[in-house]
Amino acid sequence: MFSNPFAELSALIPPAVMQGYVVLMVLLVIGGTLLDVVHKKSAKYFFEKGQSLKKLAKREVGGSQKIGLAVHTVANEVLASSEFANPERRISHLFIMYGFIVFVVTTAIMIFGLPAAEGEASALTPLLWHLGALSICIGGYWFWLKIRADVRSEGHQWYDVHQSDLFIVSLLLMATFALIWSLLQAAGGGVLAGLAFVIFIAAATSLFSTILWSKFAHMFYKPAAAFQKKVAVADGSRDKLPDLPELTDPEVKQRYPDIPEYMGDNPPYMGLGIKREAPTHY
């Protein structure tokens, strides 16, 4: 039976300190996201783009229709991650996303619920905490070792780490060493358990404090961009994008002989005059 790993830790670290750490991480996420918005001028971009699209609108989109589009955005782009064309990447992302949500929520519940309640009911939250961390690991390592390394996707070796990977690396280290720490602590691991806990906290701190340099804030932009696009299509200011040509098609290769068959996830379709939508990274 899984137990609250923070309950045993409370003998060394007062619950108030752990609770203060959680609050600090929340403030870092809020502050980092706001700084990211200001630094990258995301809000200004969305506002100016919205204003420019309004001038091109062919019809009025009512409030009820906008609510429907918002619900559709939440159901598809947010909850189901329908923007991923690659089924493997979509499933991997869902494992990471829902695992992360469960892990963060149960961490807060267990820490702010200290001292832990007795009885079988208190075992559910620790179980979900471990399953959340495991879900992050399944989706994350699947992405890092298989999908990301695939030449049809990004073609990076597992040891090839870039600044854009800061989010996924910190997330994986946090979930991995959270599980290791919990298991070692339950087994009386002593120094090893303490080392695993230090790495767990260092990774968590890195994850929540480096939003300005990582892809963390991207999760907040995606729903807004998807909703704006749906409204633009509904009011006629933006026609639906045509299907991009298959670069391996003989006709395309004959017409554009200088374009390689594989362009990767990031570059534009050079020579076609068409830029792809911004790629989605974890």
Confidence grade of residue 252 (pLDDT, cut at 50, 70, 90): low
Torsion angle of alpha carbons 44, 47, 51, 56, nearest 10°? 110
Handedness of CA 46, 47, 48, 54 (dihedral sign): positive
Distance CA 86, CA 94 (A): 12
Distance CA 164, CA 265 (A): 14
**How far are the Cα atoms of 8, 81, 199, 205 from residue 14, in angstroms, in the given order?**
11, 39, 19, 19
Confidence grade of residue 250 (pLDDT, cut at 50, 70, 90): low
Who wins on pLDDT, 157 or 207? 207
Confidence grade of residue 257 (pLDDT, cut at 50, 70, 90): low
Who wins on pLDDT, 102 or 225? 102
**How far are the Cα atoms of 31, 38, 44, 181, 261 from residue 278, in angstroms, in the given order?**
24, 19, 18, 37, 19
- ∠ CA 66-67-71, nearest 5°, is 115
Who wins on pLDDT, 245 or 168? 168
| Confidence (pLDDT) at 159 | 80
pLDDT tens string 58-68: 888 888 888 99
Q: Which of 43-52, 125-134, 264-273 has the lowest mean pLDDT?
A: 264-273
What pTM did the predictor assign? 0.75
Arithmetic mean of pLDDT over the chain: 80
Distance CA 184, CA 196 (A): 8
Tokens of 177: 């060493």
Q: What is the mean pLDDT of residues 173-183?
A: 97
Inform me whether the pLDDT recorded for 92 exceeds 80. Answer: yes
| Confidence (pLDDT) at 79 | 86
Inform me whether the pLDDT recorded for 54 exceeds 80. Answer: no
Tokens of 226: 């998807």
Inform me whether the pLDDT recorded for 131 exceeds 50. Answer: yes
pLDDT tens string 264-282: 444 433 333 333 444 444 4
Residue 4 CB: number of other CB atoms within 10 A? 23
| Confidence (pLDDT) at 43 | 66
Q: Which of 115-124, 185-194, 209-218 has the lowest mean pLDDT?
A: 115-124
Burial letters 185-212, b for 16+ CB under 10 A, else e: beeebeeebeebbebbeebbbbbbbbbb
Confidence grade of residue 191 (pLDDT, cut at 50, 70, 90): very high
Share of the chain above pLDDT 70, in %: 78
Inform me whether the pLDDT recorded for 72 exceeds 60. Answer: yes
What residues have CB less than 8 Å from 39, skipping those under 6 apart?
A: 212
Q: What is the mean pLDDT of residues 41-45?
A: 69
Q: Which of 7-16, 47-56, 178-187 has the lowest mean pLDDT?
A: 47-56
Distance CA 136, CA 167 (A): 12
Confidence grade of residue 249 (pLDDT, cut at 50, 70, 90): low
Inform me whether the pLDDT recorded for 214 exceeds 80. Answer: no
